[in-house]
Amino acid sequence: MRVGVITFPGTLDDRDAARAVVAGGSEAVSLWHADADLKNVDAVILPGGFSYGDYLRCGAISRFAPVMQLVIEAAGKGMPVLGICNGFQVLCESHLLPGALTRNSDLHFLCRDQEIEIVNNSTPWTSSYKAGEKIVIPLKNGEGSFQCDDKTLAELEGEGRIIARYVGQNPNGSRNLIAGITNARGNVVGLMPHPEHAIDELTGPSAQGLGFFTSILNVMVK
């Protein structure tokens, strides 16, 4: 399995995501924002960071990077795509996912160990988990509050497209405690907290984030 990890100028968690891909059993392939091909990858991860300095809005400029046109095309054909944190914001700006991520309700950047519940385990990124499984992984962002209109929210809820919810007190004001969602087809996933920082108890709060990176192997088995 070849999993591409995109680096935009200002991306920060690309090395961490690549490390997690390898720990999950796949090969990590570096993709540059200006690349004109996806180097034959089977899946793509958009890592966290502050791409293009988060100028205008988070993800608003990255959405126009050459590599994103390829990602949008490939996603349309069913390629698994995972956007973490800033990557989630880029996916929303690219309209691969609905809604938007806005400032945390308390207006502070928040870095903490966060419990989330995996609600939908049928995506290529969550199939290693049991439905209802609770895991603790880092949450770290300034704009993590998921917002959308009532109609979209009803669709997300009704179609089972919420893949993870925050457990306990709402950390950032996200509607319906949404930590992650998927598209109608189920191949594109956006997640606010960081599973790539929880692959090893030595450097993270747990190793429970690894499931996102082992799940992708199940796609090939199928």
117 classed as catalytic: no
- What is the β-pairing status of strands 188-191 and 178-182? antiparallel
**The two three-digit tokens of residue 76, written as one number:** 């349309």
Distance CA 79, CA 82 (A): 10
Q: Is 194 in the site for other proteins (CB under 8 A)?
A: yes
Distance CA 98, CA 91 (A): 8
Site string for other proteins, 26-65 (x = CB under 8 A): -----------------------xx-xxxx----------
Query: Among 24, 80, 88, 140, which residue interacts with other proteins (rule: CB under 8 A)?
Result: 140
Pick the closest to residue 82 from 222, 198, 211, 173 (CA basis): 211
85 classed as catalytic: yes
Query: 51 with 59: CB under 8 angstroms?
Result: yes
The residue among 165 and 197 lying less far from other proteins, judged by its C-beta, is 197
Give the count of residues interacting with other proteins (CB under 8 A).
27
CB of 111 to other proteins, least distance (A): 5
Query: 22 with 28: CB under 8 angstroms?
Result: yes
- What does residue 102 show for φ and ψ, rounded to 5 degrees? -115, 175
Q: Is 12 in the site for other proteins (CB under 8 A)?
A: yes
State the residues that interact with other proteins by CB under 8 A. 9-10, 12-13, 15-16, 19, 49-50, 52-55, 108-112, 138, 140, 142, 194, 196-197, 202-204
Instruction: Kindly list the catalytic residues.
Output: 85, 194, 196
